Amino acid sequence: MTERNLLNDPCWSAKDLGEPLPNRPHAVSVALPRWEDVIAYEEKVPACIDSLKAIYPRFGFNPFVAEVARKSLEFHGESQQSSWPYPNRASALSAQTYCHRKYSDCSSKIKDFLGISCLIVDQKSTPSAKAYWQHTGLGLSSREAAIALGRENSPSISDSHSARGELLNRLANIYNCDCTLIQLHRSGMAALTTILTAIKYIKGNNSTLQIGFPYVDVLKLPQIIFQGSDLIIKTKLNHIKEELDKKNPAALIIEIPSNPLLQCVDLISISKLAQDKNIPIIVDDTIGSSLNVHLTPYADVVFSSLTKSFAGRGDILAGSSVISPYSKWKKELAEIIPKVALSTLSDSDTIELEKTSRDVEDRLKRLNLSCLRLKEKLETKKEISKVLHPQYCKNFNSLLKKGGGYGCLLSFELKGGIEESKRVYDSLRVNKGPSLGTNFTLVCPYVQLAHFKELKWAESCGVSEHLLRVSVGLENEDELWSRFNSVI
């Protein structure tokens, strides 16, 4: 596969539909270059789906994983079923338990194929199996699948051990904590799955509480897979206090800042409220990055999708959980999390993540600055009604580290509404698809992708269906601005 230079030659036009972003076997994004492609993708139009050479790994199968699933069904003579490959039996068993919880008469079995534990379920239970795969992020990685199929070589134990140690040290330096408080996971959602399991051991079966409009699966995971989760959109302290008194949640879940509105709640004050009420706080720092903000004094656990800015390359699915050294539950969490984690980041993904994250500090500084400059230029355009970015957020600034910035993400809305958003999106000469934090700029109509079946609900939460989200990359800043300026 010849790699396309996505900085200078982006996948932006109709002919690029379905191209992997980046053009590598393990790409986690895919080109959806026109608005109509996004709608066709959401409506599962066969012509669109069949053209996709990649997909975000929790939302579908990478081609290697798809091959494992298909061949496992053929091998076991289960052509009318669906197969869900997991890295070990414990993960597959957890998925199977969930399917039976949804349908007591579910027909399922766990079958071994090429050393992989495949959960095989009937058609009625396939939606449940898919939901578990998507929301938990525990599935087989594409590199593990490629190795099982004999397409890639398995790394040496010494190389993987060394890479894992380097990664843990790198993260320990970022979070200013001991390596023993950090776990590597196969996705950001797998990290949250593990944390929620640990919280259940400590706090029982109460539901959680999400504060501020969330990334879709951060809300769906506790709602669908665990004991439920309520959402607070009104983030004034007196309202939050009332909700805590009323609901007594098992934990609070907060994004710093939120996706896609880039808003930041008053974490410092909320932390004081939660401590008084003995409620742990789980913070997602994927967008803000703990290279930019200091969160551990105000959170009990911080989790992150290392797939995004930390990796930067767009072809590794990974996550981390970091127990705060200041948490009153530090000892309990440090004992429970390793025990309840169903799997860890695979050796091959660990090695690649270690390599690509070596320059993360320098790269993130560049992304911070490039995003800020694009934001300032977009604000000069009279056609734009609002630009969303954390720069002037008092709450975000209260968490900022010395020398920290605001991340790589911004969103904007156009005065012309959805028709104007369609025109601008279709005309933009930048890469267009899901995910964020890549070295190349990525734009998407985020709400259409994340909330296609609940657009009215998103609108009621203040999230416009025609919002465009921009993950700014490392293109030449003047060149990148010319691409936006020419179509807005």
- Domain boundary residue, one of 308, 327, 356: 356
Residues 258 and 347 in one domain: yes
Indicate if 273 and 421 belong to the same structural domain.
no
Contact 440, 19 (CB under 8 A): no
Same domain, 339 and 363: no
Q: Give which of 238, 319, 321 is closest to 280, Cα–Cα.
A: 321
Helix (H, G, I), strand (E, B) or coil at 409: strand
Same domain (yes/no): 221, 195: yes
> Does one domain contain both 200 and 347?
yes
- Rounded CA gap, 452 and 303, in Å? 26
- Confirm whether 147 is domain-assigned: no
Note whether 208 and 313 are same-domain residues: yes
Residue with tokens 């050294």: 325
Three-state DSSP at 372 gives helix
pLDDT of residue 1: 54
Instruction: Count up the domains in the chain and report the number.
Output: 3
User: Is 151 part of any domain?
Assistant: no
> Would you give the distance in Å from CA 109 to the centre of its chain?
29
Asked if 177 and 290 sit in the same domain, the reply is yes
Q: What is the pLDDT of residue 2?
A: 73
**Residues 340 and 366 occupy one common structural domain:** no
249 within 8 A of 256, measured Cβ to Cβ: no
What's the rounded Cα separation, in Å, for the pair 228 and 207? 5
3-state secondary structure of 51: coil
Instruction: Give yes or no for a contact between 28 and 57, defined as CB atoms under 8 angstroms apart.
Output: yes
pTM over 0.85, yes/no: yes
Q: Specify if 149 maps to a domain.
A: no
CB contact set of 290 (below 8 Å; sequence gap of 6+): 174, 175, 296, 302, 304, 322
Distance CA 354, CA 310 (A): 10
CATH of the domain at 392: 3.90.1150.10
Residues 404 and 442 in one domain: yes
CA dist., res. 353 & res. 162, Å (int): 12
Question: What is the Cβ-side half-sphere exposure of residue 305, based on CA atoms within 13 angstroms?
Answer: 29
Tell me the residue ranges of DSSP E strands in 122-223.
182-185, 208-211
Residue 145 lies in a domain: no
Query: Would 150 be classed as within a structural domain?
Result: no
Pick the last residue of a domain from 356, 378, 395.
356
First to last CA, the chain: 34
- Give mean pLDDT in consecutive 10-residue pieces for the chain, a chain of 488 residues: 88 97 97 98 96 95 97 92 97 97 91 97 95 97 98 97 98 97 98 97 94 91 94 92 94 96 96 96 97 98 98 97 97 96 97 98 98 98 97 97 97 96 98 97 95 91 94 97 97
Rg of the Cα trace of the chain? 21
186 and 311 inside one domain = yes
Domain finish residue from 356, 380, 413: 356
Judge if 202 and 252 occupy the same domain. yes
Nearest to 200 by CA among 192, 211, 189, 212: 192
Domain assignment of residue 377, given as a range: 1-55+359-488
| b/e code 335-344 from CB counts within 10 Å (16+ = b) | ebbeeebbbb
The CA distance from 340 to 40, in Å, is: 39
Give yes or no: residues 329 and 431 share one domain: no
Which residues are 19's β-sheet partners?
Answer: none
Residue 163 lies in a domain: yes
**Is 408 within 8 Å of 401 (Cβ atoms)?**
no
What CATH number is given to the structural domain containing 94? 3.30.70
